[in-house]
Amino acid sequence: MRRLDPWLLAGLILCGLLLLIALYGDRIAPFEPSFSVLNVPDRAPYPLPPGDPFVFGSDPAGRDLLSVILYGAKTTLTIVALAGIARLAVGAGLASVSWAAPVRAALDALADVVSAVPSTIVAVIVVLVFAKLEAPAAVFIVALLLTGWAGPYRIVRAELTRLRAALFTEGARSLGVRRRELLLRHHLPHLVPVLALSASQQIAAALVALAELGVIGVFVGPVRSISLVNSLSLVRLGERAGGFASESSEWSAMLSTGRSLENLYVTRWVVLVPGVAIALAVLAVSLLGIGIARQYRRRNLITDLRPLRVVAICGVLALVAAPSFVLPDRFVAARDAATDARARTVVGADVAQAFADGGLTPTALDRTASLLKTVGPATLDIVGAAGQLRVSEGPTLFPVLAGKSSGGTVDAPLVFAGWGISPEDFPPSRLSAIQAPDFGSQVSTWEDDYRKVDVRGKVAVILRLATLRLGTRFIFAPTPDQIIAKAIEHGAVAVILVESRTPTFGTGGVGTYKRMAIEDPITSASGIPTVVITPEAADRILEPAGLRATDVLRATNRDFSRDYSNGVSMAVALPGAATVSVPVAAVTETSHNLLALTPARPDGHRMVLWAIAPSAIDGARGAADALAAAVRSLRGRPVPGLALVFFDPRGDTAANAKELIGRIGGTVDVIVLVDSLNGQLLKFSSIYGDLFFPFDRYADHAGIAHARTLAEDEPSWATGLAAMGRYRYVFVAGTGRASPDTDLRPDGAALLGYVMARYDMGSPELHQ
């Protein structure tokens, strides 16, 4: 056998390494691409420079660049290999059918048109039209194919034209050899150098094109902004802590997330590491193509492809690739734990029995507290020029049991106090001159609602202003409790607050007011009752004044238009009277909490699994069922360092949580809180950016349908988290409209089982 050309040998070695990285990169990577290193001693600002702890440094989100490169190799190399081969196959296929002059002329004209259009622009248009900026890999393959086939077509057609004029072709034709046989048996061996060079060029071109798309912000998979501020023990003034990070680990996405002036001139490794990886891949593919062309420029490939050699080559490739399909996943034990927990889910589980089944002995904590709560439905009765109107507690009315509000029944004249804004109540901030304008500076010239109408001794109707939207800027308005408190200070004996959204849904709705009731509960059973109503209910009340709350709030949410930003108060006296009734009395509640601790870890650290039941959101007990299933799965599989809590939020929520955390002791690595599991899929939320990627990956590995992790601080009011200090947490709940066909308890159990197993495996993202 003829010696291998040195170029071919080098290409085979480098491409073999690329193949190994694509097949086994996720197994040999030092870290997962979801792990962000935190609190490095004597660290530079993020991204971390090459050295310790990462050889090639980190990206702006604190992830090991080498690990991200190794994980993303499979996606990137698969896309460019398929795109390059598709380009060559389409181009060569069209060239092979261009025997007839009319067909050849049409294809030549089409190739000229395709070549005249920049391929990057076409790819961007295809991605934007048929997908989006975060498009799947298949869309990129099609986009790179559309304009890339013209080059191989011209090269192959020119070579076929030369071969068709050759003497051996004329001789074969005279012997009656058909076109197909002539192409496959006589022309194809001569095309090997051309096809090899063209294939390597197209794969390299596809890789470069993919990098170009990444540079301009079009890449495979989603990207998100990660903030590490809350996760770090120290953040220096002016220091950046976080940045954009790609979920797919694809190389062009890494270029996209590193495209900033700081990364180009200061933290160059963020761009250089993926750039060098792309350059080396281009070099490897090019060397292979050149080597094949040199090896077979005067030799027939068919003679080397003897049956035994073909079998040997296929056998070697199978031996290299087979383990990647046969070897178990790196975290197969965690996936098995998730499956086990899912299978143990029982509706209405007996919590005490679940601990016994898991081989644990829990500690009970029962606490009794006296709280002021409603003992009947809140109601609103209006008697005025528009007739009688009665609204009862439900989808259109919700009582406020927080702050300076209280229970009781009030019958008094009605007045509309507009936005309930007095410039004197909200003085401009001293920093407004050097920072973005604050609310006080924006309303300093507004007409005083409380000077236009007298609310003393009356029931005040106030529209809730969530934000000031001025063009593209948003300025947050005072919170509901502040507006209510100011109305009371100005003499209102009851308050009717009109929300821009239905009180039973969404931010600014029932969640906000339940949070207020937990964080700042009322202190009197009678006094100044307050209720929240929908704009549709308020339209009837404001009808005598010629106003529609729905129109005003709709226009305000769209843009704070001139009609409502010119400073003229909408406040006006209303005919008639209102009776606001919020029946409140002291209610004694007893909470029943359970805590179980597995054997301590040598370092004294623990992970807390905290199930809220009944849910503070909807009163359901799905979280208890999910954690009970996870606890049962611990039988025969002890996981040290766990704290398992069934938390009852009734009574004094904060005091209950504080005592439970005190009993856990030690250092808490992370808290996983599970609340209502009603909905269509799971949702994760946290303010700790280093936990975004891990829990999304956990859910993916465990086969759980989920929404992307959100940066939210909302769960603190409903779970006792406010009493837990600066512990990293992830809040798990259901999202989407629930239906009889959906049950998220098995998914919740699977997630908890997976997380427990990963913690036991020492996954660094779950340890401080």
Please, are residues 563 and 555 in contact by the beta-carbon 8 Å criterion? yes
User: Higher pLDDT residue, 158 or 44?
Assistant: 158
Instruction: Supply the DSSP string of 14-53, one letter for each residue.
Output: HHHHHHHHHHHHHHH-SS-TT-B----TTPPSSSPPSSSS
Please, are residues 523 and 403 in contact by the beta-carbon 8 Å criterion? no
Instruction: Supply the DSSP string of 121-179, one letter for each residue.
Output: HHHHHHHHHHS-SEE-HHHHHHHHHHHHTHHHHHHHHHHHHHHHTSHHHHHHHHTT--H
Q: In percent, how much of the chain has pLDDT > 70?
A: 86
- Residue-wise pLDDT tens digits, 626-669: 999 999 998 878 889 999 999 988 888 878 888 888 888 888 88
Q: How many CB atoms lie within 10 A of CB 437?
A: 16
- Residue-wise pLDDT tens digits, 415-433: 999 999 999 998 887 654 4
With a threshold of 0.85, does the pTM exceed it? no
Please, are residues 241 and 158 in contact by the beta-carbon 8 Å criterion? no
Measure the CA–CA gap between 446 and 460, rounded to whole angstroms: 19
Distances from the Cα of 376 to the Cα of 407, 591, 618, 687, angstroms: 11, 22, 18, 37
- Tell me the pairing of strands 530-533 and 494-498: parallel
C-alpha 590: how far from chain center = 38
Measure the CA–CA gap between 729 and 696, rounded to whole angstroms: 14
- Residue-wise pLDDT tens digits, 160-179: 777 776 777 767 677 677 76
User: Higher pLDDT residue, 548 or 709?
Assistant: 548
Instruction: Provide the angle, in degrees to the nearest 10, between the axes of the packed helices 269-295 and 188-215.
Output: 170
Measure the CA–CA gap between 559 and 565, rounded to whole angstroms: 10
- Residue-wise pLDDT tens digits, 706-765: 888 777 655 545 566 666 667 888 889 888 877 777 889 999 999 999 999 999 998 888
CA-wise closest residue to 404 among 304, 215, 271, 530:
530
Alpha helices in 543-675 (DSSP H): 549-558, 562-565, 622-632, 653-664
- Residue-wise pLDDT tens digits, 565-604: 467 889 999 988 999 999 999 989 888 999 999 998 888 8
Phi-psi region of 198 (alpha: psi -120 to 50; beta: other; left: phi over 0): alpha
3-state DSSP assignment of residue 650: coil
Q: Please say if the pLDDT value at position 297 is more than 90.
A: no
Please, are residues 396 and 570 in contact by the beta-carbon 8 Å criterion? no
Q: Where are the beta strands (DSSP E) in 658-720?
A: 667-674, 681-686, 710-711
- For residue 288, what are the contacts with CB-CB under 8 A and spacing of at least 6? 8, 11, 12, 14, 15, 196, 200
Asked if residue 649 has a cis previous peptide bond (ω within 30° of 0), the answer is no
User: Higher pLDDT residue, 211 or 682?
Assistant: 682
Give the pLDDT mean for 487-507. 76
- Residue-wise pLDDT tens digits, 47-92: 888 887 888 888 888 888 999 899 989 888 988 888 888 888 888 8
> Which amino acid is it at 69?
I
> What's 468-485 look like in SS3?
EEECCEEEECCCHHHHHH
Measure the CA–CA gap between 461 and 537, rounded to whole angstroms: 12
Q: Please say if the pLDDT value at position 342 is more than 90.
A: yes
